Amino acid sequence: MLQSLVRLEGRIPTKYRFTRRFSRAIIHRFQQKILNFYKGPEVTGLIRRVRAEVDCQIFSNEGYMVYSVARAQSTMDGAMAEVGTYQGASAKLICEAKGSAEFHVFDTFCGLVDASDNDPLFRQSDYSSSENSVRQYLSQYPNVHIHKGFFPAATGDVVRDKKFSFVNLDVDTYASTRDSLEFFYPRLLPGGILMSHDYAQAEGVRKAFEEVLGSKPESIIELPESQCMFIKQG
């Protein structure tokens, strides 16, 4: 519920937006304290820095999940990918965890272009960002490739022949989630993991997972916040 309210922030009158932002900050701070208690200072400090550097639309616990799964998958062969990077927060967490793995980052950099009636929480052009800023933000990391354009129609060909150990989706809408799942499912290695943001509250994202994975052997694993994931069977 809180995550849904955060997503609706752009449609709330200005006088109420401060309350939403304040609530999100409180949630982040609470989660950060819990992470500090259970996890090492290296990763908790990283999450704190990322939140300070860019507009981070994922909660601290979600950031930890992205980092932790990417780190676990870094021992596998295969590339990694993220579709929907916004200002690069989760992409930086993946970069810190991926080791030498090839990492492809996809975004329109003009925001959502396919929001429809299936996506009542979102509007066209939500979450637009600067390609140059993201390139600069990730420039210190090796083997990172940033692709501007609508995925997969405009940019999918660059990775069509690759296999993936980890894919992170944060595309928000039904159509983009469906298209991304259909593209990456046959390209995931056995044991590869696909994770998605917004599954818990975005009905379009849930609908896409149900349609694409409905006849597949993999089970959707719901994570504590808005994320879900599945592990590709052999």
What pLDDT, on the 0 to 100 scale, is given for residue 193?
99
CB of 169 within 8 A of CB of 81?
no
What pLDDT, on the 0 to 100 scale, is given for residue 17?
46
Calpha distance 181→175 (Å, rounded): 10
What are the tens digits of pLDDT across the range 101-113?
A: 999 999 999 988 7
Q: So where are the chain's domains?
A: 2-231
Calpha distance 63→145 (Å, rounded): 21
- Residue 21: which H helix or E strand, with range? helix 14-38
Three-state SS at 9: helix
* 2-231 CATH pick, 3.40.50.150, 1.20.200.10, 3.40.1410.10, 3.90.230.10: 3.40.50.150
Three-state SS at 79: strand
What are the tens digits of pLDDT across the range 172-213?
A: 899 999 999 999 999 999 999 999 999 999 999 999 999 999
What are the tens digits of pLDDT across the range 4-35?
A: 444 444 444 444 445 666 777 888 889 999 99
Q: Which of 104-118, 156-170, 207-221 has the lowest mean pLDDT?
A: 104-118
What are the tens digits of pLDDT across the range 49-84?
A: 999 999 999 999 999 999 999 999 999 999 999 999
pLDDT tier at 234 (50, 70, 90 boundaries)? confident
What are the tens digits of pLDDT across the range 97-146?
A: 999 999 999 999 998 878 788 877 777 778 889 999 999 999 999 999 99
Q: What is the mean pLDDT of the chain?
A: 90
What pLDDT, on the 0 to 100 scale, is given for residue 10?
41
What pLDDT, on the 0 to 100 scale, is given for residue 23?
77
Start-to-end CA span in the chain (Å): 36
Give the Cβ contact number of residue 167 at 10 Å.
Answer: 26
What pLDDT, on the 0 to 100 scale, is given for residue 2?
42
The residues, any chain, with a CB within 8 Å of residue 162's CB and separated by 6 or more, are 78, 79, 102, 104, 187
